[in-house]
């Protein structure tokens, strides 16, 4: 790194300004600033020459190396910062993708749950309807069987009543020594008349 030439000019200006100070002002306490001494001018000149030589050597050898080291370090730091920024951006993108994936997974799971619940409700409704149809059919069949049995019972009722009445007449009249010979046709007429009057 090459230092600006104005720093050198500023240093020389300071040295000349100190040289312009009256010698008596500094001679008492600081003999190295006694400008009336002829050796002081030589020291100032040689000091300036040595400073210029050291500056030239440093500006051509050490300072460029320092500049390269600082530039390399700055470039490396900037590269590391760029890598860190890219890593941070990648991490932010990964977090956003994870959030989106989690949200999508939750939405998909909720949709699956809703679909399963809907399918279960539809299956339960279909099963209930099928059971209701079966029950209605069974009830209709039972009513038909009851009606058929009732009709059969009603159809057989006159014969049963006739036989029962004839048996009762015989059992009641014979022990008393009365004539128990009542015609079956007469008993059937009486039972039929009784059934007709009960229906009416």
- For residue 23, the tally of other CB atoms under 10 A from its CB is 14
pTM recorded for the entire structure: 0.37
Length, in residues, of the chain: 200
Spatial CA neighbour of 165 closest among 186, 134, 136: 186
Residue 61's pLDDT is: 83
Mean of the per-residue pLDDT values for the chain?
A: 79
Q: Rounded to the nearest 10 degrees, how much is the dihedral formed by the CA atoms of 101, 102, 108, 110? A: -170
The fraction of the chain above a pLDDT of 90, given in percent, is: 37
Residue 26's pLDDT is: 46
Q: Per-residue pLDDT averaged across 58-65, rounded?
A: 83
Q: Rounded to an integer, what distance in angstroms lies between the CA atom of residue 45 and that of residue 150?
A: 149
Q: Which residue would you say has higher pLDDT here, 123 or 192?
A: 123
pLDDT for residue 36 is more than 90: no
Residue 51's pLDDT is: 92
pLDDT for residue 92 is more than 80: yes
Q: Rounded to an integer, what distance in angstroms lies between the CA atom of residue 16 and that of residue 12?
A: 6
Q: Which residue would you say has higher pLDDT here, 155 or 61?
A: 61
The residue assigned the tokens 């959030």 is 99
Per-position DSSP letters for 107-134, written without gaps between them: HHHHHHHHHHHHHHHHHHHHHHHHHHHH
Q: Rounded to an integer, what distance in angstroms lies between the CA atom of residue 163 and that of residue 23?
A: 172
């Amino acid at each position: 790194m090459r230092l600006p030439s104005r720093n050198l000019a500023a240093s020389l200006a300071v040295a000349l300004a100190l040289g312009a100070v009256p010698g008596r002002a500094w001679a008492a306490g600081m003999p190295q600033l006694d400008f009336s001494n002829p050796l002081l001018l030589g020291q100032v000149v040689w000091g300036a020459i040595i400073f210029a030589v050291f500056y030239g050597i440093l500006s051509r050898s050490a300072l460029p190396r320092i500049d390269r080291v600082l530039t390399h370090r700055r470039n490396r730091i900037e590269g590391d910062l760029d890598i860190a920024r890219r890593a941070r951006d990648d991490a932010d993108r990964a977090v956003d993708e994870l959030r989106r994936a989690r949200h999508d997974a939750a939405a998909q799971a909720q949709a699956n749950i809703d679909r399963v619940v809907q399918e279960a409700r539809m299956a339960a409704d279909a099963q209930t309807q099928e059971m209701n149809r079966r029950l209605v059919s069974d009830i209709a069949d039972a009513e038909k069987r009851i009606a058929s049995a009732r009709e059969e019972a009603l159809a057989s009722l006159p014969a049963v009543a006739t036989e029962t009445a004839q048996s009762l007449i015989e059992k009641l009249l014979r022990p008393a020594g009365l004539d128990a010979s009542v015609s079956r046709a007469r008993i059937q007429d009486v039972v039929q008349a009784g059934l007709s009057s009960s229906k009416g």
